[in-house]
Structure 1
């Protein structure tokens, strides 16, 4: 059944492409949602610049035409891009913001970025946005989610050796569970999944659809 007026924007994570969210996109399309699985230049700009890029792309792609409510599904750093877009650039979204699901978002940074951001190979590969993934980043200072936000965190850190070394407590190899939390979020779900493979895990696909449709995870 086609859901007239409901569209979903998908934002991939650092080092990934829209292909990494293709399974989620197909599931949401099958559920009746119009989707836009967007590529963005994650290495070239800081996160505010990426948020502006996404806003321009949404307009250029015509996503707002016939859309009454816009949802977002993000992975990893894509969550920070969406948070910045919806928090600082909301005026650029001329339709109602619906529900947002973030998978493994470093909302409060990552100890891996703390440990590696001083090294030139890290700065070269991750670009300006990579320097905003540290635990001392003030990127989201003064912001809070005034929309329905569901966050999924993972707890399988292997085989990410950097995560095993630098992160204490439960983590998905890149982000500690505690650092995926954000005051004001609607729901938070912890699953036994790995950071990079989270978007393709069947249990994650099911939970994302459930939140987009109902505003909560299925427990």
Structure 2
């Protein structure tokens, strides 16, 4: 099996260190791992057709038309595609074709009370729950996991209804918020695209979150589930 790790973009998500957490898992599960520092590889049809799994950690940045077309074609043909946090749910904001492929896009992460914010990334670290759905309790990626809590960025996601939501998170209403009722966002979802499988896990802002046993289990199980060999079953 061949896995392609594509990383880069905004350095705040530490794409090199984050992906290196999972390379040993891939190798231990029989993958030959190739690492690329840009999405240019997506335009290489021969390489993509031979790839069973893509793990992307590339926040924001840009993608060329041929690259996103190559990515879409590979997934449609059966290549698995997965990632976490902004590395997949906030990539290539200007590409509508990429956004359609993923099915959900980061919109914001609400902050603490403005008076308590000091201008650091911890302004956006909130205590919140990740709630496994009924579907999630039966799905191989999340089966056996209970609801769990994190203190990190809580993603507010814009999404369509072609995704299969395995876990959600609910944004409450605080006195300083302009919205008027709680908002539930998908926190973990899968998506079928042609013969391919996509898995998105929104927690993962920092290395400590990725090392949380629940988050790590979801990401690792998602890699195995999304892979081409799994999608044939």
Report the TM-score, using the length of structure 1 for normalisation. Answer: 0.48
Query: Structure 1 or 2: larger strand share?
Result: 2
Larger radius of gyration: 2
